[in-house]
Amino acid sequence: MELRALSTDTVADIYNQYMMVDFPPDERKPLARILYTMEIGLCCAYGIYEQDALRGYAIFIVPEGANYGLLDYLAVVKEHRGTGVGHAFFGQIEDVLTAKYPMLRGFIIESENVEAAADASDRRTREKRISFYRQNDCAMTSLGSKLFGVTYSILSYDFDKRTNGCASLEDLDRIYAAMFQRHHYEHNVELWDNSQVSS
Provide the percentage of residues in the chain whose pLDDT is more than 90: 81
What are the pLDDT digits (tens) for 107-141?
999 999 899 888 999 899 999 999 999 999 999 99
Q: What is the pTM of this model?
A: 0.91
Quick one: pLDDT band at residue 25, thresholds 50, 70, 90?
A: confident
Average pLDDT over residues 89-100: 95
Residue of 71, 63, 85, 66 whose CA lies nearest to 138: 71
What are the pLDDT digits (tens) for 48-77?
999 999 999 999 999 999 999 999 999 999
Average pLDDT over residues 98-103: 94
pLDDT at 198 over 80: no
Given this model, what pLDDT does residue 199 score?
A: 46
Averaged confidence pLDDT in the chain: 92
CA max distance for the chain = 52
Contacts 24+ apart (CB under 8 A), 195-198: 195/142, 196/142, 196/169
Provide the percentage of residues in the chain whose pLDDT is more than 70: 98
User: SS3 for 27?
Assistant: helix
Q: Are 110 and 171 in contact (CB under 8 A)?
A: no
Given this model, what pLDDT does residue 197 score?
A: 62
User: SS3 for 107?
Assistant: strand
Tell me the domains of the chain and their CATH numbers: 2-198 (3.40.630.30)
In this predicted model, which residue has the larger pLDDT, 58 or 197? 58
pLDDT at 91 over 60: yes
